Structure 1
Amino acid sequence: MADPMVVSQPIFTDAVLDPDLPTPPGLIDPTGRPAGKRFDVYRNNVVTSLIDAMQTAFPVIHKLVGTEFFNAMAGVYVREFPPENPMLMFYGTEFPAFLSTFEPVAHLAYLPDVARLELARRQSYHAADALGFDPQTLVDMPEDALLQSRFDLVPAAQIIRSEHPIQSIWHHNMIDNAHPVAPHGETVLIFRPEFDVDAALISPSIAHFLEHIQCGETLETAFEQTQQIDNEFDISNVITMMISTGIINKIKG
C-alpha cells in the first residue's frame, strides 16, 4: 500500500474514518493492483482500535449504555473527532462535550458529567509526578506568613462539579457491593496520592476554596472568598484534608 502522505493526508484520513468513501486514488498493494480490499481491512482495524480505546477510557459509560450502543456511539465520535495525538491513552478529550449534544442520549442527563469524571481520572493518572511536599513546612510557618502564602497543587489534582451523583454512579458501577446511588449532585476531588488515582466527595465550599488556590490566590484571599458563600468554612480542616490527600505540591511565598 502506498504511503498515505503521497496521496493526500486529509483525503486519506477521511477515507479511513468513513466506510462510505472510496479507497483514495493512488493506493496500491504489493503487486501494484488497487488496494481496495487491503484498505478496507486497514480502515476497519483503525476504527475498531479507536472504539476499543474508548471502551477502555470510559468503562462506566460503556457499562451504562451497553456494548452495542456504546460501539455505535463511539463510531460516530471517532469519525467526528479523529485522534490528534498518536498516544491513544489521551484520546477522548471531547467525549463529554460530544455526549451533551448527542441526541440519542439526551434523556441521560448525567452521562456527560460521568464522562468528565472518567476523563479526569485518566488525566490524573497520567499527570506529572508531584515534587514531594513535607507537611512539616506548614507547622514551621508563622501564621501571618502562612496566610500570605500561595499553594501550588499537584498536577494530578482535579475538581469536578455536577448536578448529578457522578461519584456514586462511578462507584456503583466500578466497585463491588457499592451503595445505591442517591439522587443529588456531587462535587468530586480527584487526586493521586501515589500510583493509583483516588477520589473524594467534597463540599461546594471546599471546591470553591481549592479553585481560588488553583488560580494562584493567597490562602487568606481564598479563605475570605469562600467565607462569602459559607461563613462556617473551617480552613484548618481543609488544610488537613489537603495534606492527607497529598494534593499540595509546594508552598510559594
Structure 2
Amino acid sequence: MEQEFAAALLDPDRSAPAGLGARPTRLSIHRNNVVSGLVDHLAAILPAASRIVGEDFFRAAAGVFVRAAPPSSPLMFAYGAGFPMFLEGFPPAKGVAYLADVARLEWAVYDALHAADAAPLDPNALADVPPEGLDSVRFRFHPATRVIVSGYPVVSLFRANRGADPDGPLKLSAEGEGALVTRPEVEVAVHAVSPATAAFFAALQDGAPLGPAAAAGLQADPAFDLAASLSLLLTTGAATALDYFKE
C-alpha cells in the first residue's frame, strides 16, 4: 500500500491505490503539494536558470522533470543532480542553449556547499617536487571542488542572473568560459577560467598526470598558460594533496 501510494504521488495518470476509499481528491491535493515542493527546491538551488527563462517556464520544466525523475532517496538536499542534463534535452529549452550549463554551474555551487571538509594543499607543495617528477604529478582534489567546461560565458551569465540588477549591462565574451568551484573553508567561490584552463583542470580531476593534463590544455588553446593555471589551482584550495612518481 505504501509503495503504491508513493508511486501515485508523482504520477497523475496513475489511479488511486486500492483501499484509499473515497479520498482520491485528497491524493490529488497531496500530489500537487509534493510536486510543488520539489519544484520549489529546484528553484531555490537554480535561481539564475529560473531568471534566464522566467519563473513560469522554469517551474513548468521542473514539474516535467519531477514527474519523470522522482526522488530515489529521502535525503532531499541531494535531489536535482540530473536536472541540468534534463534541461539540455528538453525541447522547449532548445532556444536557450546555455541554460543547461548555467544550471550545471549552479548545481556545482550547491553541491560544493554540502561536500565534506578537507584541509587544502599547501600552495608551495609543488616546489618540493623534483623537475624529473613534475610530469607525473597527480593531484587529489578537495571534495568540494567542481570543474565546469562550457562553450558559453557561463560564469558571466551565472553572476549576472544572480545579481541584484539582472537588467543591468551584461558584457558577454564570444568565447566560452570555464568555472572552477572551490570551498576551501566555509564560503563557496566561483572562479572564471579560460576554456583551456577548464580542460586542464578537468583532466587533472579525472586522474590524469600533470604532463598529459597540460597537453589537454594546450590542445584546447596553444596559448594555454600552465603556470597561471597551476597558481590558481594551488591558491584556491582546489586540491588537498599531490603524488608523483619517484625514481
- Asked whether 1:24 is paired with 2:17, we answer yes
Q: Deviations over 1:18-43 (max 9, x none)?
A: 33443211125xxxxx3334323322
Counterpart-to-counterpart distance in 1, 2:48 and 2:220: 33
Structure 1 residues 16 and 150, CA gap change in structure 2 (3 angstroms): same
How far the C-alpha of 1:220 sits from its partner, in A, is: 3.0
The within-5 A match list for 1:49-198 is 49-176=37-164, 180-184=170-174, 185-198=176-189
Structure 1 residues 75 and 221, CA gap change in structure 2 (3 angstroms): closer
TM-score of the two chains, using structure 2 as the length reference: 0.86
Find the counterpart in structure 1 of residue 8 from structure 2: 15
Structure 1 residues 226 and 167, CA gap change in structure 2 (3 angstroms): closer
Find the counterpart in structure 1 of residue 230 from structure 2: 239
Structure 1 residues 163 and 44, CA gap change in structure 2 (3 angstroms): same
How far the C-alpha of 1:78 sits from its partner, in A, is: 0.9
How far the C-alpha of 1:53 sits from its partner, in A, is: 0.7
The answer on whether the counterparts of 2:119 and 2:184 sit within 8 Å (CA) in structure 1 is: no
How far the C-alpha of 1:230 sits from its partner, in A, is: 4.3
The structure with more radius of gyration: 1
Counterpart-to-counterpart distance in 1, 2:232 and 2:177: 18
**After alignment, is 118-127 or 17-26 more displaced?**
17-26
Letter in 2 for 1:159: V
**After alignment, is 159-168 or 74-83 more displaced?**
159-168
The answer on whether the counterparts of 1:166 and 1:186 sit within 8 Å (CA) in structure 2 is: yes
The answer on whether the counterparts of 2:178 and 2:197 sit within 8 Å (CA) in structure 1 is: no
Residue from 198, 211, 223 that aligns with 1:207: 198
Counterpart-to-counterpart distance in 1, 2:80 and 2:171: 26
**After alignment, is 178-187 or 67-76 more displaced?**
178-187
- Asked whether 1:249 is paired with 2:240, we answer yes
Determine what percentage of the aligned residue pairs are the same residue.
38
Q: Cα RMSD over matched residues? A: 2.3
Structure 1 residues 147 and 51, CA gap change in structure 2 (3 angstroms): same
SS in 2 for 1:162: coil
Find the counterpart in structure 1 of residue 209 from structure 2: 218
The answer on whether the counterparts of 1:165 and 1:181 sit within 8 Å (CA) in structure 2 is: no
Counterpart-to-counterpart distance in 2, 1:60 and 1:118: 8
Structure 1 residues 206 and 183, CA gap change in structure 2 (3 angstroms): closer
Which structure carries more relative contact order (alpha carbon 8 Å, separation 6+)?
Answer: 2
How far the C-alpha of 1:247 sits from its partner, in A, is: 0.7
The answer on whether the counterparts of 1:131 and 1:250 sit within 8 Å (CA) in structure 2 is: no
Find the counterpart in structure 2 of residue 31 from structure 1: none
Q: Deviations over 1:195-217 (max 9, x none)?
A: 12211121222222222322323
Letter in 2 for 1:212: A
Any gaps of 5 or more consecutive residues in structure 2? Answer: none
Q: Deviations over 1:55-114 (max 9, x none)?
A: 112111222222223222221111111011212222112212221222222211121111
Structure 1 residues 39 and 159, CA gap change in structure 2 (3 angstroms): same
